Structure 1
């Protein structure tokens, strides 16, 4: 079976904005300040920056509080308003309202997120200074990234077809007896009651669909090596040598010269791809 992460990430890449990574699996959660190397499909956590390096995070007003996305021409949603709704409601006869989602193409996708907010590490001079200090001391791998922006959804529904003809029946949750009446409602007012031929099915809360990472800029590190020599210089006592004041001043005054947003790692060749 084709790795579903490829189709999922390809479909949502750029939906939130440039340089934002798509979280796979959709149920996975990320945290600000998480540190690790970039490996497909995303960051591999190995550490977390201390609070002194990341606080205070800043909430960025989202351009949109709701996000809906579906594979154009391959997803059909039929809303069912009463318990007496006719076929294809099927199992929905046991609930007051719901919806039927039908897919006409393999890997077709329906994504609905609601209650979206974004937080970010606002003090980039402090972050750049922290990473440079660690790098100079030999405690920071140049391949490591840190989660700098985090998009969180209060709730969401993610459905992906394993094959043409996949279906899912969604019933109204107990707290929403009136049932969904629009695609946006599918993020908050439903529970899956029956499904067939799906390879990704998620109805959940507190999701992190997108995130952005920062790392030390490659060109910046080459400049450091050229001007100051090998990193990780240490005193005879084994303590890290202090970072040159001029270098710290440089990254504090222009953190964008030291930091960059890398692209999400590309998947390995098909024969090496795992199941995600």
Structure 2
């Protein structure tokens, strides 16, 4: 809070990035067995003669998938685990068998797709879900996030592999366009918060605009100007409709001065405590505060 206005700090805004898995991040932490799939995926690509990333036809391209991320959905009585893994593997992993009457399963059955092979790496999943340590340990490996633009921004832990082989086809295709360098840097969540006045994403970005906060009586964090204005407002008689609000009486003025002295003493104690708590800490650069219109007027009258 500054001068009676409440707003999230830069550090609080940056904290939201921990709630994002991939979007607007430079890299991300993922479980070991998922990182292995990312590395296998990366090994299956190469640049063709047109400079476009394509897959090696001789290598199997597996889906990069970690079921722990959708654990709540897979634990439902009516789940789609049998469609993701296939009935045999799903049963071997101890998945919850549903009655398979959902619309998607019925469609797969009508199209004869229930027994089709998946693109999951065989025997890669020794257990359906990872333990908390395996899934959220601080020592998890990092992998780079790739950024593209098509109709919208695309952020992915795997590179896009084109299936096109000819220049003419590529020119007319809807392949996502890679975003790299400074352009990508300016799209990162941390860059937007630290270096621009734009909003990134999340509740603190769209609902965290500064708003007036009602101070409590004698709040020592208020500046002298706002503290006096707050106390003066509390001492003023109620306004009468159609009339100007009356000035403070002599008794009220004396009371105001007494209260201001108490607030000043409280503010001094807070500053002493802050100094004691920050001994040995090198302070950052302090911005010069601009005077409000009221403060400028008061100074001009005094001079």
Structure holding more strand per residue: 1
The structure richer in helix per residue is 2
> What range is the shorter-chain TM-score in?
under 0.3
TM-score norm. by structure 1 comes to: 0.22
Please identify the structure whose Cα radius of gyration is greater. Answer: 2
